[in-house]
Amino acid sequence: MTISLYAIAFVALIFSFAKSRENTVLALKKAWKAFENILPQFLSILIIIGVILAVCDIYFRPLESWECVLSVDENTSI
Total count of domains within the chain = 1
Determine the pLDDT at residue 57: 72
Task: Convert the pLDDT of each residue in 2-22 to its tens digit.
Answer: 999 999 999 999 999 999 999
Whether residue 30 is contained in a domain is answered as: yes
Whether residue 75 is contained in a domain is answered as: no
In this prediction the pTM is 0.56
Task: Convert the pLDDT of each residue in 19-64 to its tens digit.
Answer: 999 999 999 999 999 999 999 999 999 999 999 888 887 666 665 5
Whether residue 46 is contained in a domain is answered as: yes
Q: Could you tell me the residue range of the domain that residue 50 belongs to?
A: 2-70
Whether residue 76 is contained in a domain is answered as: no
Whether residue 20 is contained in a domain is answered as: yes
In whole angstroms, what is the distance from residue 76 CA to residue 52 CA?
32
C-beta separation of 16 from 24 below 8 A: yes
Whether residue 43 is contained in a domain is answered as: yes
Whether residue 48 is contained in a domain is answered as: yes
